[in-house]
Amino acid sequence: MFEYRMIMDLVETLTTPHRVATWRLDDKSLLALVPQLSTRMRQLDALRVRLVHEIDERCLGQKIGASSTQSWLSEAAKLTPAAAKRIVTAGQNLRARPDVTASFDTGVLDIDQVRSITTLLDQIPDLLSDLDPTSVDGDPTDPVTTCTQQCTDYLISAAEHEHAVDTANRAAALKAMLGNQDGPPPDDENEALNEFFASPTTGGRVRVKGHFDKVAGEQLLTALSALSKPQPGRDNTHGEPDPDPRTAAQRRADAITGIIRHYLDSGTAPTEGGETPHLTVFVGLDDLTKATRNSGDTNTHDSEGHPGPHAHDDSCGCDDRRADSGRSVIRRGPAWMPWLGPISIRLAAMLSCDATITPIVMDHDGNPLDVGRTTRTIPRRLRRALDARDCGCAFPGCGRPAAWTDGHHIHHWSNGGETQLSNLVLLCRFHHRRIHKGDWEVYIGDDGHPWFLPPHWIDTDRKPVPSHNRRQLAFTS
């Protein structure tokens, strides 16, 4: 039977690791074994680097048919080519670095720290190329040798108490200090190397990728930080905040979208084609009217705020102006945008809630007949009043700043809804989509403020919930 002591012997653990029953180890043993095992793993990693370097020096991989030591190692050890290359490169970089090698062998450094340190040490001769040897007490002193030893001692000493990212940052800071301030900037500070790609895909989405210098990257991360924080909602009648259902990547995507929308809305963008950039959507009015009518955005409510009959219902036959002619025809689809083409009518309906509208009357073949005057559905003065009333996203538990919200028409303008305070509510893009989805409903109560009706699966009674900035109010009984 495998023996368990108060502190289990590490050698015994490594000899038969598959026989270690972790559940039988006491707290003290568990806490002691993990750091010891981590140190031993670094030591074993150092041994592997030395072994692979010897194989590389003897060209043993090529002798048995491999194209390189890296390709042999990748196949023999089941490593990715990148991981194999990292090991081969580490062995080559350590040849003339006995101090770094010793710290690696004893488990003080891991392979990533070795890479950061040796990369800097190899760059020091170029960084100090403009310095001449000096003399101290009559003895010649090479600044490169002196600086290399000082940097080695400093980085190894610091690495003993930190992880690889901290060591990499220290090495980068030393490189910045030693570099020629009058020469070209390092790659991570060179604006000329910045790249950004935005490519429409065949599926209709846009794929982006890029890399930036440190200043631009810092500005981007700073802008995203506050806007991508989790936004807990209040989706239950007990007032308990539910966690944000979005992943971190989804929150960042929403943040960058909000930044772009805010920039376009600011009116400070340079003109293109004689006007400031804005989102353009072409959609047939009859299609839009039908879509918003079917989405149920025209609910009325009784005096207690409970849903009443629809103001317009297809079943009653009212407002059926195109019943005989069918759907309006537009060449590129029922709704489309200049850059990315067709979009759903539902998305077009949401975009039209708070937008600059340019009416383009088209015939049934999709030919423009008349272009009307561009008007903003929510005038600036009314928008200020809306900001003052809702103080940001009105959805319960949200409260995102007003600058990052849309003005949602409760009764859609394409169905005759008026652009006035009693028919508008501020919603962030996330909750704007939720309202258009139809699970939640919103209406203006007798107090002149927005109230929200949760779906049946959250509250079977559908008790009205006050807007976010009036969350201190008790729920209506």
pLDDT tens, residue by residue, 244-278: 778 888 888 888 888 887 777 666 666 555 555 56
The per-residue pLDDT for 153 is 95
Instruction: Reply yes or no on whether the pLDDT at 322 is more than 60.
Output: no
Lowest model confidence (mean pLDDT) among 33-47, 280-294, 320-334: 320-334
pLDDT value of residue 310: 37
Q: What angle do CA 405, 416, 323 make, to 5 degrees?
A: 120
Same domain? For 302 and 371 the reply is yes
**310 vs 408, higher pLDDT:** 408
| Two structure tokens written together for 47 | 């041994």
At 284 the pLDDT is 64
Cβ atoms of 236 and 462 within 8 Å: the answer is no
Q: In terms of domains, do 14 and 68 share one?
A: yes
Per the domain annotation, does 456 fall within a domain? yes
Q: Is there a domain that residue 209 lies in? A: no
pLDDT (0 to 100) of residue 13? 72
Q: What are phi and psi of 116, to 5 degrees?
A: -65, -45
Percentages helix, strand, coil for the chain, rounded to the nearest 5?
45, 15, 40
Q: Is residue 477 part of a domain?
A: no
Residue 51 pLDDT: 96
Q: Which whole-number Å values give the CA distances from 468 to 396, 425, 430, in the listed order? A: 4, 12, 15
Is 270 contained in some domain?
no
DSSP alpha helix (H) spans, 241-379: 248-266, 285-294, 345-351
Are residues 320 and 425 located together in one domain of the fold? yes
Note the helical H segments in 179-284: 214-227, 248-266
What is the span of the domain harbouring residue 309?
282-470
In a domain, 201, yes or no: no
Is the same domain home to 69 and 124? no
User: Minimal CA–CA distance to 8: which of 286, 363, 25?
Assistant: 25
Tell whether 329 is covered by a domain. Answer: yes
Question: Worst-scoring range by mean pLDDT, 6-20, 350-364, 400-414?
Answer: 350-364
What pLDDT digit, counting tens, does each position of 29-74 carry?
888 889 989 999 999 999 999 999 999 999 999 999 999 999 999 9
Q: Is residue 68 a part of any domain in this protein? A: yes
* 349 and 447, same domain (yes or no): yes
302 pLDDT band, cuts 50/70/90, is very low
The three-state secondary structure class of 199 is strand
Whether 15 has a pLDDT exceeding 80, the answer reads: no
Whether 48 and 150 map to the same domain: the answer is no
Instruction: Check whether residue 289 and residue 396 sit in a common domain.
Output: yes
142: its two tokens: 């090479």
Tokens describing residue 163: 């992880």
Tell which residue, 204, 376, 411, 181, has the closest CA to residue 289.
411
Residue 295 phi, psi dihedral angles, 5° rounding:
-75, -10
Tokens 């990148």 appear where?
82
User: Do 78 and 119 fall into the same domain?
Assistant: no
What is the pLDDT at residue 290? 64
Q: Phi-psi bin for 456: left (phi > 0), alpha (psi -120 to 50), beta?
A: alpha
Q: What pLDDT sits at residue 328?
A: 47
Contacts of 230 (CB under 8 A, 6+ apart): 243, 244, 246, 251
Examine residue 164 and state whether it is found in any structural domain, yes or no: yes
Residue 353 CB neighbours (<10 A): 24
pLDDT band at 408 (very low <50, low <70, confident <90, very high): confident
**pLDDT tens figures, 109-153:** 999 999 999 999 999 998 888 777 765 455 667 888 899 999 999
Least Cα distance to 457 among 440, 476, 443 occurs for: 440
Higher pLDDT: 414 or 441? It is 441
Pairing of strands 356-357, 360-362: unpaired
For the cut 60, the answer to whether the pLDDT of residue 432 exceeds it is yes
Claim to verify: residue 457 and residue 325 sit in the same structural domain? yes
Question: Across the chain, what does the average pLDDT equal?
Answer: 77
Structural domain count of the chain:
3
63 and 154 belong to one structural domain:
no
342 touches 348 (CB < 8 A): no
Name the 3-class secondary structure at 443: strand
Same domain membership, residue 396 and residue 423? yes
Residue 88 shares a structural domain with residue 154: no
